[in-house]
Amino acid sequence: MNTESAATFETIESAQEYLGLLAQALAESQGAIDEDIRAQAASASPRRLDALRLIAYDLEKLKGHVTRSRRILNDLRTLRRLLHRERSRIAA
C-alpha cells in the first residue's frame, strides 16, 4: 500500500470523509441509473432493463452498507472521545 492511501485512513475522521464522498458518488450514480431505467422502460430490450434494475438494486445495497459504516465510525469516534476524557480525569 502506498503512503498516500495509507494516510487516507489514519484517523476515524479521514475514513468518515472518504465514506461521505463515496455516499455522494453513489447518490449521483443512483440518479443516473434511475434516469436510464425511465428511458429504457419503453424500449424493446427487457434484458437491458433487467440489468439496469440489478445495478440499481446493488447500488442501494452498497448505499446501506456505507450508511451503516458511517454510523459505526461515528460511534467509534464518540467512544474514543469518551475514553480520552476518562483518561484525562484519571491522570489529573
What is this structure's pTM? 0.79
Least confident of 53-57, 72-76, 87-91: 87-91
Q: How does pLDDT run across 41-69, given as a tens digit for each residue?
A: 887 789 999 999 999 999 999 999 999 99
Percent of the chain with pLDDT over 90: 72
Q: Please work out, in degrees rounded to the nearest 5, the angle formed at the alpha carbon of residue 12 by the alpha carbons of 91 and 55.
A: 160
